[in-house]
Amino acid sequence: MSVHASNPKKITTHTLLEMKQSGQKISMLTAYDYSMARIVDEANIDVILVGDSASNVMAGHETTLPITLDQMIYHASSVVRAVKRSLVVVDMPFGSYQGNSKEALSSAIKIMKESGGHAVKMEGGQEILDSIKRILTAGIPVMGHLGLTPQSIYKFGTYVVRAKEDEEAQRLIEDAKALEEVGCFAIVLEKIPAALAAKVAQMVNIPVIGIGAGNGVDGQVLVIHDMLGINNEFNPRFLRKYNNLHQHMLQAFEAYKKDVQSGDFPNATESY
Ligand code: KIV
């Protein structure tokens, strides 16, 4: 179904589980605003992630750390207003859940109440299990996120591939099992070796969605600005660019400026 039907069948966490069970790959993209989310939803992308990557691509910060809970809610509520079919997952921003489980629960409730999102995503494994459990008890679905977790960039010191060494790989496997056991409905694996990601996807029964994690997982996610080629300076190996919007937009803006300067725009048919 490629049209934006007025009453399409909504994607739920259960749909994603069924997709894994039947071997159908899950598509996920980020979106942070109404207009972009409408197009993503119209394209029948299964999951829209209101990622804290908004901190980078929307606000121009170097890391995801500065974005606030209220800013995430602003982005998420804009996305939710656009969506008819996709499952909307909202990133819990840095500092909104690491303190203690009570604080984590109140942040998650605020996101759900004020944005209308359908689930939250949290970075980390066993160290945040208490918070995840408490959020789940309130009936809020949680997506985990392991591997390269950008909120911990100052611990890692770099954005290179994670879990290449046995010890970190083993820890990631334990974390994935723990996230499944506690009740997460899916896990994102970011920038880890493809063989390890495939092993995790086979080991757990919940969907595993990769970014820079190879093809042996249950679905893929990309940051929308990256896959559209809006930032022509970001070219990691895992990124496939489906457009070169930087070039197209630049050309459009330059053409507009030329038409304004020459007086060609607006012409008679563009005037009242
Ligand atoms: O914030 C984000 O965009 C993400 C994806 C990279 C998975 O967490």
Tell me the CA–centroid distance for residue 1 and ligand 1, in Å.
Answer: 27
58 and 167 assigned to the same domain: yes
Q: Above 90 in pLDDT, residue 3?
A: no
- 55 in contact with ligand 1, CB cutoff 6 A: no
Burial label for 215, CB within 10 Å (0-12, 13-18, 19+), is: exposed
Q: Averaged over 82-98, what is the pLDDT? A: 98
Per-residue model confidence (pLDDT) at position 167: 98
- 89 in contact with ligand 1, CB cutoff 6 A: no
237 and 250 assigned to the same domain: no
Tell me the CA–centroid distance for residue 91 and ligand 1, in Å.
Answer: 8
User: How many domains is the chain partitioned into structurally?
Assistant: 2
- Write the CA distances from 100 to 92, 103, 104, 181, 223, integer angstroms: 14, 6, 6, 20, 29
Residues identified as active-site:
190
207 and 265 assigned to the same domain: no
Ligand 1 atom index nearest CA of 150: 8
Per-residue model confidence (pLDDT) at position 210: 98
Helix 129-137 and helix 166-182: axis angle, to 10°? 20
Q: Which of 151, 223, 234 to mutate to test the pocket of ligand 1 (most atoms within 8 A of CB)?
A: 223
Confidence category of residue 7, pLDDT binned at 50, 70, 90: low
Burial label for 26, CB within 10 Å (0-12, 13-18, 19+), is: buried
Q: Averaged over 47-76, what is the pLDDT? A: 98
Per-residue model confidence (pLDDT) at position 4: 47
202 and 260 assigned to the same domain: no
236 and 251 assigned to the same domain: no
Q: Do residues 41 and 85 lie in contact, with contact meaning Cβ atoms separated by under 8 Å?
A: yes
- 211 in contact with ligand 1, CB cutoff 6 A: yes
- 148 in contact with ligand 1, CB cutoff 6 A: no
- 52 in contact with ligand 1, CB cutoff 6 A: yes
Ligand 1 atom index nearest CA of 123: 8
Ligand 1 atom index nearest CA of 223: 3
Q: Which of 32, 52, 226, 230 to mutate to test the pocket of ligand 1 (most atoms within 8 A of CB)?
A: 52
- 51 in contact with ligand 1, CB cutoff 6 A: yes
77 and 127 assigned to the same domain: yes
Confidence category of residue 176, pLDDT binned at 50, 70, 90: very high
Residue 7 lies in a domain: no
The distance from CA 28 to its chain's CA centroid, rounded to whole angstroms, is 7
Residue 8 lies in a domain: no
Residue 3 lies in a domain: no
Task: Determine what percent of the chain is predicted with pLDDT higher than 90.
Answer: 96
Q: Atom 4 in ligand 1: which residue has the minimum CA distance?
A: 51
31 and 118 assigned to the same domain: yes
Q: Averaged over 122-136, what is the pLDDT? A: 98
Q: Above 50 in pLDDT, residue 1?
A: no
Ligand 1 atom index nearest CA of 30: 3
- 197 in contact with ligand 1, CB cutoff 6 A: no
Confidence category of residue 99, pLDDT binned at 50, 70, 90: confident
139 and 258 assigned to the same domain: no
83 and 209 assigned to the same domain: yes
Residue 78: φ, ψ to 5°: -65, -40
Tell me the CA–centroid distance for residue 259 and ligand 1, in Å.
Answer: 39
Residue 181 lies in a domain: yes
Residue 90 lies in a domain: yes
Q: How many CA atoms lie within 13 A of 166 on its CB side?
A: 0
213 and 259 assigned to the same domain: no
Residue 5 lies in a domain: no
Is pTM beyond 0.75? Reply is yes
Per-residue model confidence (pLDDT) at position 8: 78
Confidence category of residue 146, pLDDT binned at 50, 70, 90: very high
Average pLDDT, rounded, for the chain: 96
179 and 253 assigned to the same domain: no
Range of the domain at 230: 13-241
56 and 85 assigned to the same domain: yes
Q: Above 60 in pLDDT, residue 5?
A: no
- 56 in contact with ligand 1, CB cutoff 6 A: no
Residue 2 lies in a domain: no
Residue 185 lies in a domain: yes
